[in-house]
Copies of this chain bind each other. A is one copy, B any other.
Amino acid sequence: MFATPAQRKKWLEPLLDGKIRSAFAMTEPAVASSDATNITTSIRLDSDEYVIDGRKWFIPNAAHPNCQQFIVMGKTDRDAPAHRQQSMVLVPRDTPGVKIVRDITVIDHTAPEGHCEIEFKGVRVPRSNLLGEEGSGFALAQARLGPGRIHHCMRSVGAAELALELMIERAQARTAFGKKLYQYGSVGEWIAKSRIKIDQARLFVLKAAWMIDNVGAKEARQEIAMIKALVPTVHTAVCERAIQTFGAMGLSPDTPLADSWTWGRALKFADGPDEVHLQSIARKEIKARPYEPGHESPYLTPAV
């Protein structure tokens, strides 16, 4: 959406052909990156090159052998207004000064594509590697996050559905104290409540998707924030119950439940922690119903 024709040809086409992978490098260890204005990585123009210095972490894909390019977010102008300080540049992986410090395990889990910590030290790229324009980094990030968030939610609904399916199977397969597990009231309630939560979440995600298609990601921002703040919690809650139904086996590698549970947990901050989404939902509700003294709801008996 924002690349130049040359950038597209060089990076986007092999990406779409599946020949290379790309990694988006925003989160930093030193600051609360849920607030993107905190980003400290420096992107400094030096004649015709950008010089990048900073440290990023939890960068997905970066450990994959095909990952050949990073999109790095940093600050080109610390004196600009808060949301115009950031820019994004394209950094080939093999540029001198780029160092993958480690692949961070997430709850002892190492994904093949990795969640890497990366150091950028005096990294130089040509000026033409700028994505969009200087100062547009924050806006680019926002444009990317809507679709990214619903994609997380869609996978999360599917993962919850699988967890419920496994729970239902296990509850029929096992007997304790003379009854099948599903015949215990509490297990029955876990199944029913999981079904309710999943069906609700799926409908809600479908509505957000319909809105993205029909009125655009920007107009659907409230719906996207709502599903992002909701679905990971549904996902982990259903996994929790499924794990409890399996007993210790539920935490072993013999089921996909433990991985699914911890992945759902990680989603509670991926692309913004729940709390940030909740506050933005509340702000929009407040804006939609501004309070005017003297025009209180007719359902209230006015306090004197």
Contact assessment for B281 and A192 in the assembled complex, using a CB-CB cutoff below 8 Å? yes
Residue in B35, B278, B291 whose CB lies within 8 Å of A189 = B278
CB distance from A112 to the nearest CB of B (A): 13
Q: Decide yes or no whether A191 CB sits under 8 A from chain B.
A: yes
CA A197 to CA B176, docked complex, whole Å? 27
Contact assessment for B303 and A186 in the assembled complex, using a CB-CB cutoff below 8 Å? no
Write the chain B residue with the least CB distance to A259.
Answer: B108
Q: A30-B303, A184-B185, A230-B200 are in contact. Are A269 and B247 (CB under 8 A)?
A: yes
Q: Decide yes or no whether A219 CB sits under 8 A from chain B.
A: no
| Surface stretch bound by B, among A11-19, A135-143, A146-154, A167-175 | A167-175
Inter-chain contacts of A285 with B (CB < 8 A): 164, 168, 191-192, 195
CA A207 to CA B278, docked complex, whole Å? 26
Contact assessment for A33 and B258 in the assembled complex, using a CB-CB cutoff below 8 Å? no
CB distance from A161 to the nearest CB of B (A): 12
Q: Decide yes or no whether A253 CB sits under 8 A from chain B.
A: yes
- Interface size class for chain A? 35 or more
In this complex, the member of A58, A186, A282 whose beta carbon has the largest number of chain B beta carbons within 10 angstroms is A282
CA A107 to CA B250, docked complex, whole Å? 9
| Surface stretch bound by B, among A91-99, A125-133, A260-268 | A260-268
Residue in B162, B184, B196, B278 whose CB lies within 8 Å of A192 = B278
Contact assessment for B244 and A273 in the assembled complex, using a CB-CB cutoff below 8 Å? yes
Inter-chain contacts of A275 with B (CB < 8 A): 184-187, 189, 244
CA A200 to CA B201, docked complex, whole Å? 7
Q: Decide yes or no whether A181 CB sits under 8 A from chain B.
A: yes
Q: Decide yes or no whether A279 CB sits under 8 A from chain B.
A: yes
Inter-chain contacts of A57 with B (CB < 8 A): 248-249
Q: Decide yes or no whether A290 CB sits under 8 A from chain B.
A: yes
Q: A168-B285, A189-B282 are in contact. Are A29 and B304 (CB under 8 A)?
A: yes
> Could you write out 22 A-B pairs with CB less than 8 Å apart?
A29-B249, A29-B304, A32-B181, A34-B247, A38-B176, A106-B258, A166-B300, A168-B286, A169-B291, A186-B189, A188-B283, A192-B229, A196-B226, A196-B229, A200-B204, A200-B230, A203-B204, A244-B269, A244-B273, A244-B275, A247-B269, A254-B301
